[in-house]
A and B are shown apart, each in its own frame.
Chain A
Amino acid sequence: MELDRSDEEVLAGEYGETRRICMEILVALGKVYGAERLIPVSSVQVAGASYKTIGDPGLEWLQNLDARAVVPAFLNPIGMPRDDWRKMKIDEGFAEKQQEILDAYRRLGISLSCTCTPYYHQLVHYGDHLAWSESSAVSYANSVIGARTNREGGPSALASALIGKTPEFGLHIVGNRIPDLVIEVDDPDATKQWGSAEYGALGYLAGKEAGNRIPCFRAIRPNRDRLKSLGAAMAASGAVALYHVEDITPEARVPFFKKSFTLDQKETVTIPVADVNALFTEIEVNAVAVGCPHLSEDELRTLAGLLSGKKVKKEFFVFASKEMIDEHHDLVGTIEKSGASVYPDTCMVVSPATDTLGSVMTNSGKAFTYLPTMCGVLPRLGTIEECVRVATE
């Protein structure tokens, strides 16, 4: 790999041990994936933030680092709402460790945004090179915005934050972003009635078909919130870091991409609408959780409208970024008046609060995928309207 003089100096330890290790990580990644050089990134999103996932070894590693981020860098959700953890019944020992992780990231100059939807609060542009790690955020940045990022691990993202660069391979290279397969549904007309939950269900099925390949969907017209739901589910049930939707997502509309492949010659997978519908069951649940990924302004408004004037009879968790909550106190107030709880900083997957619930209803295809394996919870998929009905009836 070709390194410039400043990279070489960092690698030689002239800017301290932490930056030397970070550079060694980036160079090793470059070797493993055949990168020729390092390129600057405009922002970094760091995973590995919940004590539930990284534990004591992760905390200790962070505490031993000594450098500050040189590009805008922000943190993934943690295992609890940082101020209100008692309300979520998080135990004191966990909260203490989680706080130490936050302190360690603060010292490293990482913004404690604690959200999986940083794109609602950060300017990210078409063609920007990023080093993001949260799989749904990676999918959104690549697919919906047309920025360029690989799916980074926690340590490699942190290394990029402290160095400001990433090895150029994979999805940073335009030629690697063209679709590998086409995905269609057997009845495109039916998708006109779909909301985020149905698109999440489609993503759950499509991710299993696509694995780590790049799918291109045809004949569907999801809006941004539905694209978010589709991509998040595919990144969870498969390892899809980029997808396209013909005529909808930005790269699928660029002449270069249109010319570089002919969809008719690709492997085509057809997903029956009946299979999507079959994922919606009627099982009894103990709680409802929405906001995976964190809610957009529109989603928050829709939920406030549905819950307005009602009372929930089951525990109802709502997850959004702290910034989104702070900007929309009116909507949050309406939601909480119903008895539902709106939490910042965390989510149903990375918080230990979910582990004891037994069964949970959600409108998220991503949460539907992870709740059984990461939380030992039986999941039920439903639309946002059904979630509210089940909680309030």
Chain B
Amino acid sequence: MIIKARSISKGTGSGRLLVSEAPISFLSGVDPASGIIIEEGHPLQGVCIKDTVLAFPFGKGSTVGSYIIYALRRNNVAPAALINAEAEVIIAVGAIMAGIPMIDNLEGGFSQLQTGMAATVDGDAGELRLEDPADS
């Protein structure tokens, strides 16, 4: 299944979808050394985002968060790709700094995404490819 989206950061990345219903703050919300979400009370607290296709509504918190996304990539614990419902500057800039493919504004909305689906984000074409469950 191919879902049209808006391209934010170029490149292609594949992995299992990890969907967060809550926004994510990268500064003090994600450990840059391990890629584990550490924000107290976050629905994904304790979950590692390494190599996932990480989908969340939008970013929050300090603009220093862009540098943390870059640090995740340097430490090899970054997500393979990012999906936002509506991109904002901290995440968009961080994704580009780190060279992580990113899209937003999915056709049909954000709610069709489910954790565990095999997904490929194509940041050049601006689309999300979800593996058909019947094929897997």
Contacts and interface: CB of A to CB of B under 8 A. Distances in A.
A28 B10 CA distance: 10
A180 to B, nearest CB: 21
A205 to B, nearest CB: 24
Select the residue from B32, B64, B90, B97 with max chain A CB neighbours within 10 A.
Answer: B97
B93 A153 contact: yes
Contacts of B87: 28, 31-32
Nearest to B98: A61
A155 B6 CA distance: 22
Contacts of A58: 64, 67
A57 B63 contact: no
Nearest to A159: B93
A192 B61 CA distance: 39
A49 to B, nearest CB: 12
Q: Which 10 A-B pairs have the closest CB atoms?
A: A57-B71, A57-B67, A153-B63, A28-B92, A58-B67, A24-B96, A155-B93, A25-B96, A28-B8, A61-B70
A22 B129 CA distance: 28
A281 interface: no
Contacts of A153: 63, 66, 89-90, 93
Interface in B87-109: 87-90, 92-93, 96-97, 99
Which label, helix, strand, loop or mixed, suits the secondary structure of the A interface? helix
Interface string B46-74: 00000000000000000110111011001
Contacts of B63: 153-154
B25 interface: no
B46 to A, nearest CB: 22
A56 B32 CA distance: 11
A31 B6 contact: yes
Interface in A113-157: 153-156
B9 interface: yes
Contacts of A28: 8-9, 87, 92-93, 96
Contacts of B68: 57
Given A29-B92, A60-B74, A153-B63, 5 more contacts: A31-B6, A48-B64, A55-B67, A61-B70, A153-B89
Contacts of B71: 56-57, 60
Nearest to A47: B63
Interface residues of B, number: 22
Given A24-B10, A25-B97, A32 B92 contact: yes
A163 to B, nearest CB: 13
A156 B64 CA distance: 12
Nearest to B6: A31
Nearest to B123: A24
Contacts of A302: none
Contacts of A223: none
Contacts of B64: 48, 53-55, 58
Interface residues of A, number: 20
Interface string B75-97: 00000000000011110110011
A32 B93 CA distance: 11
A24 B66 contact: no
Interface string A1-40: 0000000000000000000010011001101100000000
Contacts of A32: 8, 87-89, 92
B119 to A, nearest CB: 21
11 contacts: A21-B96, A21-B97, A24-B96, A28-B8, A28-B87, A28-B92, A32-B8, A57-B70, A60-B70, A154-B66, A156-B93
B8 A61 contact: no
A54 B63 CA distance: 10
A329 to B, nearest CB: 36
Contacts of A154: 63, 66
A156 B89 contact: yes
A147 B48 CA distance: 45
A61 B67 contact: yes
Interface string A148-183: 000001111000000000000000000000000000
Contacts of A155: 66-67, 93, 97
Contacts of B97: 21, 25, 61, 155
Select the residue from B8, B92, B96 with max chain A CB neighbours within 10 A.
Answer: B96
Select the residue from A28, A32, A55, A61 with max chain B CB neighbours within 10 A.
Answer: A28
Interface in A51-80: 53-58, 60-61
Interface in B1-20: 6, 8-10
A57 B89 contact: no
B32 to A, nearest CB: 7
Contacts of B93: 25, 28-29, 153, 155-156
A108 to B, nearest CB: 14
Contact of A57 (B6, B9, B74, B99): B74
A8 to B, nearest CB: 14
